[in-house]
Amino acid sequence: MRIALFATCIVDAMYPATAKATVRILERLGHEVVFPSGQACCGQMHVNSGYLKEAVPVVANHVAAFDTADYDVAVAPSGSCVASVKHQHPMVARSCGDAALEARATAVGAKTYELSELLVDVLGVTDAGAQLGSYFPHRVTYHPSCHGMRLLRLGDRQSRLLRTVQGIDLADLPEADQCCGFGGTFSMKNADVSSAMLQDKAANIESTGAELCTGGDASCLMHIGGGLSRQGSSTTTLHLAEILASTMEEPASVTGEVLVSTGKARR
């Protein structure tokens, strides 16, 4: 299968290791990965902040980059960005009265999958250890991000994959279904409430005794990791793709600057 990678802007710019891990997983399964070079961002930051007009060129760019017959399916290591491509893009096109763009956006959305969705539903991965060689000998807890959970209805796809990673010690996260408080510009516009939500998420993560918290959305992980780091926690965050890509021969490192760096916050 020819699979187009939508890296998403945050992974592309801040967490390249997550995109590399995604490529590695798919290639390991024998698929061909392409990277449409015109891609940039899904535009949900603009849409969710009320800047619909400014979102139009961003959406149009994404549609142009992915509206080709050059691949079978597209994948992104982010539930939130995939939800935006599927649900928001046609709406943005409609809002500016561009019916042609709406039709193309709908077609692109239909071909776009979140990583765990692609692995489980399309590529038939049921055992990450056996099929991907995934090996990750660490105590991990898992935060299911809201948009994957509620907009894409990913269900237990991500946690099922994690459970089958060799060597993993997966600890249940209390109040897992509670939002981490990121919410895009919400984290800045309503920084106090966002921080209060983050505090509770971080406390729940710490209570599991896990070395790190994983999930399917780099943005939520950046938020959670940033909070843990500021509180001086030794717990870090790592994207699900990197755990799945980790093998006995090439283990993922659990600390490093692609993660939020650790250490006590000093003032």
Partner 1 sequence: MTTFLGMPALPAFGSGNLFAGESFPKAAHRELGNAQLRANLGHATHTIRDKRQAVVSELPDWEQLRDAGSAIKESVMARLPELLEEFEANFTARGGVIHWARDAREANEIVAGLVRETGETEVVKVKSMATQEIGLNEYLEEQGIEAFETDLAELIVQLDHDKPSHILVPAIHKNRTEIRDIFLREMPGADPALTDDPPVLAMAAREHLRRKFLTAKVAVSGANFALADSGTLAVVESEGNGRMCLTLPETLITVMGIEKLLPTWQDLEVFMQLLPRSSTGERMNPYTSLWTGVTEGDGPQNVHLVLLDNGRSAALADEMGRSALHCIRCSACMNVCPVYERTGGHAYGSTYPGPIGAILSPLLTGIQAEENNSLPYASSLCGACYDACPVKINIPDILVHLRSVDVDSKRGTKKVPSQMDLGMKAASWALSSGRNLGLVEKGLPLGRLAAGRDKKIKKLPGIAGGWTQSRDIPAPPAQSFRDWWAKEHRDAGGSPGTPDGGPSSTPSPETKEAQQ
With CB under 8 A as the rule, give the number of residues binding partner 1. 89
Q: Is the dihedral of CA 69, 71, 76, 82 positive or negative?
A: positive
Residue 192 lies near partner 1 (rule: CB under 8 A): yes
If one asks whether residue 6 binds partner 1 (CB under 8 A), the answer comes out as no
Residue ranges in 65-124 that form contacts with partner 1 under rule CB under 8 A = 65, 95
Site for partner 1 contains 193 (CB under 8 A): yes
Q: How many angstroms separate the CA atoms of 12 and 218, rounded?
A: 10
Could you say which residues in the range 205-244 bind partner 1, by CB under 8 A? 222-223, 225-227, 229-230
Number of helices (H), then strands (E), in the chain: 15, 8
Nearer CB in complex with partner 1: 99/265: 265
Phi and psi based region of residue 34 (left: phi greater than 0; alpha: psi -120 to 50; beta: remaining):
beta
51 in contact with partner 1 (CB under 8 A): yes
CB closer to partner 1 out of 127 and 251: 251
Beta strands 236-239 and 212-215: pairing type?
parallel
Give the three-class secondary structure for 238: strand
Query: Closest approach of Cβ 164 to partner 1, in Å?
Result: 20
Distances (CA, A) of 142 to 24, 90, 161: 22, 31, 11
Binding segment (CB under 8 A) for partner 1, from list 35-43, 123-131, 162-170, 203-211: 35-43
Q: Which of residues 138-167 bind partner 1 (CB under 8 A)?
A: 146-147, 149-151
Q: CB of residue 251 vs partner 1: minimum separation in angstroms?
A: 10
Are 173 and 204 in contact, with CB atoms under 8 Å apart? yes
Q: Name residues contacting partner 1, limited to 7-26 (CB under 8 A).
A: 7, 9, 11-17, 19-20, 23-24
